[in-house]
Amino acid sequence: MQRLISPILASVILPGIILPGIILPGMILLGIIAGFTPTAMAQVDAQQAYSQAKTSYEADSFEQARDLAQQASETDPENPEVFLLLGKAHYQLGELDEAMAAWRRTLQLAPEQPYAKQMLAVLQDQAAEIDVRIKLADHPVDFAREDIHMAIRYGRGEWAGLDI
Protein backbone atom coordinates (compact mmCIF):
# COMPACT_ATOMS: atom_id res chain seq x y z
CA MET A 1 0.00 0.00 0.00
CA GLN A 2 2.86 2.37 0.75
CA ARG A 3 4.22 2.03 -2.82
CA LEU A 4 0.81 2.98 -4.23
CA ILE A 5 0.46 6.05 -2.03
CA SER A 6 3.99 7.34 -2.65
CA PRO A 7 3.52 8.10 -6.38
CA ILE A 8 0.22 9.81 -5.61
CA LEU A 9 1.79 11.98 -2.92
CA ALA A 10 4.74 12.67 -5.20
CA SER A 11 2.37 13.87 -7.91
CA VAL A 12 1.03 16.55 -5.60
CA ILE A 13 4.53 17.78 -4.85
CA LEU A 14 6.27 17.12 -8.16
CA PRO A 15 5.11 18.47 -11.55
CA GLY A 16 4.52 14.95 -12.89
CA ILE A 17 4.76 11.31 -11.94
CA ILE A 18 6.08 8.37 -13.86
CA LEU A 19 4.05 5.20 -13.90
CA PRO A 20 5.08 2.23 -16.03
CA GLY A 21 5.09 3.79 -19.50
CA ILE A 22 2.92 6.79 -18.52
CA ILE A 23 3.82 10.31 -17.44
CA LEU A 24 0.97 12.25 -15.84
CA PRO A 25 1.12 15.90 -14.84
CA GLY A 26 0.54 16.25 -11.12
CA MET A 27 -2.47 18.54 -11.46
CA ILE A 28 -4.33 16.10 -13.71
CA LEU A 29 -3.68 13.21 -11.35
CA LEU A 30 -4.67 15.36 -8.37
CA GLY A 31 -7.88 16.31 -10.18
CA ILE A 32 -8.65 12.68 -10.94
CA ILE A 33 -8.01 11.70 -7.33
CA ALA A 34 -10.27 14.53 -6.12
CA GLY A 35 -13.02 13.33 -8.45
CA PHE A 36 -12.88 16.16 -11.01
CA THR A 37 -13.50 15.28 -14.62
CA PRO A 38 -11.35 16.92 -17.32
CA THR A 39 -14.37 19.09 -18.20
CA ALA A 40 -14.69 20.31 -14.62
CA MET A 41 -10.98 21.10 -14.53
CA ALA A 42 -11.32 23.03 -17.82
CA GLN A 43 -14.14 25.04 -16.24
CA VAL A 44 -11.84 25.94 -13.35
CA ASP A 45 -9.16 27.03 -15.84
CA ALA A 46 -11.73 29.10 -17.76
CA GLN A 47 -12.92 30.79 -14.57
CA GLN A 48 -9.34 31.62 -13.59
CA ALA A 49 -8.60 33.02 -17.06
CA TYR A 50 -11.83 35.05 -17.00
CA SER A 51 -11.06 36.41 -13.53
CA GLN A 52 -7.55 37.40 -14.59
CA ALA A 53 -8.90 38.93 -17.82
CA LYS A 54 -11.39 41.01 -15.84
CA THR A 55 -8.65 42.22 -13.50
CA SER A 56 -6.42 43.09 -16.47
CA TYR A 57 -9.26 44.97 -18.18
CA GLU A 58 -9.96 46.99 -15.03
CA ALA A 59 -6.23 47.83 -14.88
CA ASP A 60 -6.35 49.05 -18.53
CA SER A 61 -4.15 46.15 -19.68
CA PHE A 62 -6.36 45.54 -22.69
CA GLU A 63 -4.01 43.27 -24.65
CA GLN A 64 -3.57 40.95 -21.70
CA ALA A 65 -7.32 41.07 -21.02
CA ARG A 66 -8.01 40.16 -24.65
CA ASP A 67 -5.59 37.23 -24.60
CA LEU A 68 -6.93 35.85 -21.31
CA ALA A 69 -10.56 36.30 -22.37
CA GLN A 70 -9.77 34.54 -25.65
CA GLN A 71 -8.27 31.66 -23.67
CA ALA A 72 -11.36 31.52 -21.45
CA SER A 73 -13.67 31.59 -24.49
CA GLU A 74 -11.93 28.56 -25.98
CA THR A 75 -12.28 26.61 -22.74
CA ASP A 76 -15.79 27.82 -21.86
CA PRO A 77 -17.54 28.63 -25.16
CA GLU A 78 -21.01 28.80 -23.57
CA ASN A 79 -20.32 31.66 -21.12
CA PRO A 80 -21.72 34.98 -22.40
CA GLU A 81 -19.76 37.00 -19.82
CA VAL A 82 -16.49 35.77 -21.32
CA PHE A 83 -17.50 36.94 -24.80
CA LEU A 84 -18.80 40.24 -23.44
CA LEU A 85 -15.43 40.95 -21.85
CA LEU A 86 -13.60 39.75 -24.96
CA GLY A 87 -15.62 42.23 -27.03
CA LYS A 88 -14.82 45.06 -24.62
CA ALA A 89 -11.09 44.31 -24.78
CA HIS A 90 -11.13 44.14 -28.59
CA TYR A 91 -13.04 47.44 -28.70
CA GLN A 92 -10.51 49.18 -26.44
CA LEU A 93 -7.74 47.99 -28.76
CA GLY A 94 -9.54 49.34 -31.82
CA GLU A 95 -10.26 45.84 -33.15
CA LEU A 96 -13.85 46.61 -34.10
CA ASP A 97 -14.60 43.58 -36.29
CA GLU A 98 -13.41 41.24 -33.55
CA ALA A 99 -15.40 43.18 -30.93
CA MET A 100 -18.54 42.87 -33.04
CA ALA A 101 -17.98 39.12 -33.49
CA ALA A 102 -17.56 38.65 -29.73
CA TRP A 103 -20.71 40.66 -28.99
CA ARG A 104 -22.67 38.69 -31.60
CA ARG A 105 -21.64 35.51 -29.77
CA THR A 106 -22.66 37.14 -26.47
CA LEU A 107 -26.12 37.80 -27.89
CA GLN A 108 -26.40 34.24 -29.18
CA LEU A 109 -25.81 33.02 -25.64
CA ALA A 110 -27.70 35.79 -23.80
CA PRO A 111 -30.10 37.54 -26.22
CA GLU A 112 -31.13 40.20 -23.70
CA GLN A 113 -27.61 41.36 -22.75
CA PRO A 114 -28.04 45.18 -22.93
CA TYR A 115 -24.41 46.29 -23.29
CA ALA A 116 -23.69 43.90 -26.18
CA LYS A 117 -26.94 44.95 -27.90
CA GLN A 118 -26.15 48.63 -27.57
CA MET A 119 -22.53 48.43 -28.69
CA LEU A 120 -23.35 46.16 -31.62
CA ALA A 121 -26.10 48.54 -32.75
CA VAL A 122 -23.77 51.55 -32.51
CA LEU A 123 -20.95 49.85 -34.41
CA GLN A 124 -23.28 48.49 -37.09
CA ASP A 125 -24.82 51.94 -37.49
CA GLN A 126 -21.37 53.53 -37.87
CA ALA A 127 -20.39 50.92 -40.45
CA ALA A 128 -23.58 51.61 -42.40
CA GLU A 129 -22.87 55.36 -42.43
CA ILE A 130 -19.39 54.74 -43.80
CA ASP A 131 -20.76 52.48 -46.54
CA VAL A 132 -23.33 55.10 -47.51
CA ARG A 133 -20.72 57.86 -47.61
CA ILE A 134 -18.39 55.77 -49.75
CA LYS A 135 -21.17 54.97 -52.21
CA LEU A 136 -22.33 58.57 -52.34
CA ALA A 137 -18.84 60.01 -52.62
CA ASP A 138 -17.57 57.87 -55.47
CA HIS A 139 -17.90 60.79 -57.88
CA PRO A 140 -16.78 64.43 -57.60
CA VAL A 141 -19.33 66.80 -56.12
CA ASP A 142 -19.54 70.44 -57.12
CA PHE A 143 -20.88 72.03 -53.97
CA ALA A 144 -21.50 75.31 -55.78
CA ARG A 145 -24.18 73.49 -57.80
CA GLU A 146 -25.50 71.13 -55.11
CA ASP A 147 -27.90 72.34 -52.47
CA ILE A 148 -26.76 72.80 -48.89
CA HIS A 149 -28.37 69.56 -47.72
CA MET A 150 -26.12 67.58 -50.04
CA ALA A 151 -23.04 69.36 -48.67
CA ILE A 152 -24.00 68.60 -45.10
CA ARG A 153 -24.80 65.00 -45.97
CA TYR A 154 -21.41 64.42 -47.54
CA GLY A 155 -19.33 65.88 -44.78
CA ARG A 156 -21.56 66.46 -41.80
CA GLY A 157 -21.08 70.19 -42.35
CA GLU A 158 -17.57 70.25 -40.92
CA TRP A 159 -15.77 72.11 -43.73
CA ALA A 160 -13.95 75.32 -43.07
CA GLY A 161 -15.85 78.12 -44.75
CA LEU A 162 -19.14 76.24 -44.94
CA ASP A 163 -21.71 78.46 -43.30
CA ILE A 164 -25.26 77.37 -42.73
**For residue 106, what pLDDT band results from cuts at 50, 70 and 90?**
very high
For each of the domains in the chain, give its residue range(s) and CATH number, in order of start.
1-36 (no CATH), 37-155 (1.25.40.10)
Q: What is the pLDDT of residue 41?
A: 52
- 3-state SS track over 133-159: HHHHCCCCCCCCCCCHHHHHHHHCCCC
Question: Which residues, other chains included, contact 126 with Cβ-Cβ below 8 Å and sequence gap of 6+?
Answer: none
Q: What does pTM read for this prediction?
A: 0.55
Q: What is the pLDDT of residues 40-82, one digit of tens each?
A: 555 668 889 999 999 999 999 999 999 999 999 999 999 999 9
- 3-state SS track over the chain: CHHHHHHHHHHHHCCEEEECCEEEEHHHHHHHHHCCCHHHHHHHHHHHHHHHHHHHHHCCCHHHHHHHHHHHHHHCCCCHHHHHHHHHHHHHCCCHHHHHHHHHHHHHHCCCCHHHHHHHHHHHHHHHHHHHHHHHCCCCCCCCCCCHHHHHHHHCCCCCCCCC
Task: Give the residue with greater pLDDT, 21 vs 77.
Answer: 77
Q: Are 86 and 50 in contact (CB under 8 A)?
A: no
